[in-house]
Chains A and B, each alone.
Chain A
């Protein structure tokens, strides 16, 4: 089964600083990868997804970007963080077959000061 590693677990950054969150997957090849954001007390919002290396789709306009330099690596980035980027970021993966559920990493709690 898949294992998803996310780091760091928590991060405190000043407004205007850059960001790089990393997600790696073990136990599967050619997965679909996803970045979600969860604002405090709310549900998950899909930010980006990727069906292959170098293929990124954005779901909502925002200050963030994503990249997939390797098959099992998914990176969430920003050049200049905003206060509104604070939240809990979750990486997820699945095998691309609709009857298989998504599995999630442990998440990164990002606080912008």
Chain B
């Protein structure tokens, strides 16, 4: 079974600075997807960014980018120019690249990110 580990329960960063959140995973599969979700105090789960394992290029969404190291099974999230609205719990998630049926997500434990003004 796949597992996802986020080793940083809490992180903090100064507004406008850059922060990196760590995620490692364990799988024997070669094709899969990785996601970062954000959960603000409102508790809604919001997709931040996703990465297909077969793509070598790291995904980027505006101020959010990932460092995907497939051999090391590492998938870190970098937030540039941190804003107060970035404060939230961040979850890393794994999903097999099944072509049909349910697409079950495996989540890490989460990292609580605080932005200091």
Given contacts A43-B109, A43-B110, A57-B102, contact A99 B52 (CB under 8 A): yes
Contact between chains at A98 and B107 (CB < 8 Å): no
The verdict on A76 contacting chain B, using a C-beta distance below 8 Å, is: no
| A9 to B, closest residue via Cβ | B43
Q: With the chains together, A49 CA to B105 CA distance in Å?
A: 11
B-contacting residues, A41-60, CB 8 Å:
41-46, 49-51, 57, 59
| A55 to B, closest residue via Cβ | B102
Contact between chains at B35 and A32 (CB < 8 Å): no
**Chain A neighbourhood of B109, CB < 8 A:** 42-43
The verdict on A7 contacting chain B, using a C-beta distance below 8 Å, is: no
Q: Which of A88, A92, A96 has the most chain B CB atoms closer than 10 A to its own CB?
A: A96
Q: Mark the stretch among A16-24, A66-74, A100-108 that contacts chain B.
A: A100-108
Contact with A along B100-117 (1 / 0, CB 8 A): 111111011110000000
| B104 to A, closest residue via Cβ | A46
Tell me the minimal C-beta distance from A111 to chain B in angstroms. 14
Given contacts A98-B33, A98-B98, contact A42 B110 (CB under 8 A): yes
**Chain A neighbourhood of B96, CB < 8 A:** 98
Chain A interface residues toward B at CB < 8 A = 32, 34, 41-46, 49-51, 57, 59, 88, 90, 92, 94, 96-107, 109
- Ranked 6 nearest A-B pairs via Cβ: A104-B45, A43-B107, A49-B102, A44-B107, A43-B109, A98-B97
